Amino acid sequence: MVDYKEEGVIADLHLHSRFSRACSKDITLDKMEKYGRMKGLDLLGTSDFTHPVWLDELKQNLKEERGILTSKTGFRFILSGEISLMYTQGRGRRIHLVLLAPSFEVVDKINSYLDTKGRRDYDGRPIFKISCEEFTREMFSISPEIEVIPAHVWTPYFGVFGSKSGFDSLKEAFGEQIKNIHAIETGMSSDPEMNWAISELNTKSIISFSDSHSFWPWRMGREATIFKKLDSYSELIRQIRENDFIGTVETDPSYGIYHFSGHKDHGFSASPEETQKLKGICPICGKMMTIGVANRVVDLTSQKIENYPNRKPFFKLLPLHELIALDLGSPLASNKTWEVYNRFIEKFENEFNVLLHISKEELSKEGFNDRLVELIILNRDGKLYVKPGYDGAYGVLELPSNLKTTSDFEAEKKKLERKNNLIQKKLTS
């Protein structure tokens, strides 16, 4: 693996502005840059280039050169946005797509096209009654350098493989335009390994971005893609289309808000095996649960993961704020949590350095307590347990082995074994 610390570019290209629904109203370019640097990100998506007010801010504050936008202090951005398509194709369909664009000139052309289809001033993620196939064809007619990426592909409501999107495959969604879909975004509730089980993705890149609705470092950059060094938009797109980037940063899929099936209102969740036994019905209210990502992966599995031909390495990490909050027993955004976080940044420059590079000895030497240091190392090694999220509720990080009984971990291990056995049974049936 390339030493990404020296040669890599950590990028989060799927975010939102303050003009998107259910997003922080305090998002500005300055704050995105400030906390992006704090996180350790090298490249950010601008987000929401379809919104006229936000686009004006981008044009006024960022200098464009070779498709890379640069702030006054030298931080780099790529023009990006997200579109919601809701339409009828035999039945109701709904999909979110990430867009990357090479220039303000091309963005203006995209927006002119969208203006013929409806309004885009009411939300940073506007909704249009356009099919995936038509939309992708129109984007490539505007510019072959536009990248269309199915967003958070397993999310129940708007992911192409999601239980409520109306689709079971890329081909069904994009038709002949599948040739112009070069990559998919994993989303928080899945990781690359889960996607390797889908044979349709054998010719696609598997990338990751945060879909952050705020600028906080426990949201922005929680998922990212590590590219090789680049100095142009065209090189970025080449790496995506040729599957030639370094790897990805992922949260534990259990951390995602749709990993398991369940009903949040009733506090009930179910593994794929349990969901199958219940036939998707919530035992508390008798209605259909929101079917989770893990269940959909089982349903759509079409090959052994070993058969996926272009596997990339990935880091499975939880945000540093989560570790500090667990250690302190305090909320993510509390002053106590921030005080410790800021000490890390002061000592080690950015969060990714702490999560991935700084040795146990160095962390202890700087006076951080033993339990927190151990949490950081266990996180780095992928050895923390997260109680799976479901139906819009985040997964919950639990204390590690020295503070839990062996029987607790044995029970969780058996659950995972049953899940894996179910997948293998699906493969051999």
| Domain-located, residue 398 | no
Residue 409 has what pLDDT?
A: 46
Find where tokens 């259990």 sit: 254
From first to last of the 429 residues of the chain, give the pLDDT tens digit: 445 777 799 999 999 999 999 999 999 999 999 999 999 999 999 999 999 999 999 999 999 999 999 999 999 999 999 999 999 999 999 999 999 999 999 999 999 999 999 999 999 999 999 999 999 999 999 999 999 999 999 999 999 999 999 999 999 999 999 999 999 999 999 999 999 999 999 999 999 999 999 999 999 999 999 999 999 999 999 999 999 999 999 999 999 999 999 999 999 999 999 999 999 999 999 999 999 999 999 999 999 999 999 999 999 999 999 999 999 999 999 999 999 999 999 999 999 999 999 999 999 999 999 999 999 999 999 999 999 999 999 999 998 766 553 344 455 556 656 655 665 565 555
Q: End of a domain among 218, 234, 254? A: 254
Split into its structural domains, the chain has a count of 2
| Domain-located, residue 335 | yes
Does residue 97 sit in the same domain as residue 242?
yes
Does residue 52 sit in the same domain as residue 136?
yes
Q: Of 414, 383, 420, which Cα lies nearest the Cα of 399? A: 383
Does residue 242 sit in the same domain as residue 152?
yes
Does residue 202 sit in the same domain as residue 119?
yes
Q: End of a domain among 254, 281, 297? A: 254
| Domain-located, residue 420 | no
The answer to whether the beta carbons of residues 50 and 111 sit under 8 Å apart is yes
Q: What is the pTM of this model?
A: 0.92
Does residue 161 sit in the same domain as residue 235?
yes
Residue 429 has what pLDDT?
A: 56
| Domain-located, residue 405 | no
Residue 156 has what pLDDT?
A: 97
Cα torsion for 276, 281, 282, 288, to the nearest 10°? 120
| CATH number reported for the structural domain that contains residue 231 in this entry | 3.20.20.140
Does residue 23 sit in the same domain as residue 161?
yes
Find where tokens 């686009």 sit: 55
| Domain-located, residue 308 | no
**Secondary structure of 348-404 in HEC code, one letter for each residue:** HCCHHHHHHCCCHHHHHHCCCCHHHHHHHHHHHCCCCCEECCECCECCEECCCHHHC
243 Rama class: left (phi>0) / alpha (psi -120 to 50) / beta = left
The answer to whether the beta carbons of residues 268 and 284 sit under 8 Å apart is yes
| Domain-located, residue 159 | yes
- Structural domain including 361 reads 318-381
| Domain-located, residue 202 | yes
Does residue 111 sit in the same domain as residue 217?
yes
Does residue 354 sit in the same domain as residue 250?
no
3-state secondary structure of 406: helix
Does residue 128 sit in the same domain as residue 201?
yes
Q: Which DSSP letter does residue 388 get?
A: P
Does residue 230 sit in the same domain as residue 348?
no
